[in-house]
Amino acid sequence: KGDLRIGSVNVLPHSKYGGITHATLLTGETIIGQMGAKYVESLLSSARVPVSVQKISVDMGEEYFNSVLRNRAAVHVDIVHDAEHKKKSLKICNDLDLHVFMTNVRSFPGFKCLFPDVNIMLIAQNNMGNYSELEYSPVRGVVEGLHVVTSKDIERFLRYAFKVVMSRKRKKVTLVHKSTEYPKTEGVLLDVAYKLQEIEFPTIELQPMELDKCVSRLILDPKQFDVIVTSDLYGTFMATICSSICGGANLFSAIEIGDNHAVFKPLQTKLSLTNYKVLSPYGIVATCVDLMYYLGHKVCAKALWNEMLRTMREGVKTGDFEGSDRGEYIICNIMNKLRCNMFSE
């Protein structure tokens, strides 16, 4: 059998000393890992946010898990290349019960989005179903793989997702499924969603939609979508589709979150898009903004986000968006403006 989590997560006290919150920064020896670490440390310093990062290398084994367990929040900035590192990432999701994956994609004028005013939040399961890794060969020549789901965990996930929808003041939820092909496992998702909507979230507009139909509509008219909620089977796939519509995964961030812990990543590293030779500054900024919001530093988060939007409006772009500026220049541009604002206030 696989490593399906059955016990509760050991929750340590908040790692806040002297008014400074500590977070884990996972990096590696690759160019992307080293670049991402510099970006994160520089942005947090310039944003004047009381957050200190504990840098952990990917080759430090169990120390990464212990660090995230202790600090409760982590930033992962290295791209996973092989099966061994992928397994470590899945182990974090499993052992810390990071049962929700979220990303928010939107249109930025002049950044390859063909549709204006797109703003889609994607919420997916993160450690159920295929994550149990239950596959075996009962007889020679036959292989079985089990997709294990429970109504209890589905209800927990959907309740979390619907609470996020309400807190963000969104209304329409598109529930993506394939119940015609998997009436049992996908049917549970639909049944629990309708039950929760009726009893606890009556103001939410719930729209079930088959996966194939959803992808078709996303490509032709993404503005009709507000929030997309789906199972672990289609989470990464839907994130790839949604981000590609809005200019690419290197513009956005991702969150793997549980009841007590969270891991923040640029979406390009979450999806392991290794065709990018350098780390996008936009995804790093969005990741830092998400971290600040999670830690309660909303003013600093808004200031950092607004400065990134300013660089976009002023036409400061990297080469992958037909610009002439390097990622380091964009990060320095944002940092210098944040420091100037400190003296002007």
As averages over each run of 10 residues, the pLDDT of the chain (345 residues) reads: 57 73 84 87 87 83 84 85 68 85 95 91 84 78 85 93 95 93 88 94 95 94 95 90 92 94 90 72 95 93 94 91 91 89 61
The Cα 248–Cα 225 span in angstroms is 18
| Predicted local distance difference test score (pLDDT) of residue 1 | 38
Please name every residue paired with 230 in a beta bridge, in sequence order, or none if there are none.
Answer: 124
| Predicted local distance difference test score (pLDDT) of residue 156 | 93
Residue type for position 265: K
Determine how many CB atoms are found less than 10 A away from the CB of residue 131: 20
The Cα 176–Cα 148 span in angstroms is 18
Q: What is the pTM for the complete model shown?
A: 0.91
253-257 and 262-266 beta bridge pairing: antiparallel
Please name every residue paired with 265 in a beta bridge, in sequence order, or none if there are none.
Answer: 254
| Predicted local distance difference test score (pLDDT) of residue 311 | 94
| Predicted local distance difference test score (pLDDT) of residue 93 | 82
CB 174 within 8 A of CB 227: yes
Distances (CA, A) of 274 to 40, 246, 257, 302: 20, 19, 24, 30
Determine how many CB atoms are found less than 10 A away from the CB of residue 105: 26
Q: Which residues contact 42 (CB under 8 A, 6 or more apart)?
A: 331, 335
Closest CA to 73 of 106, 46, 42, 49: 49
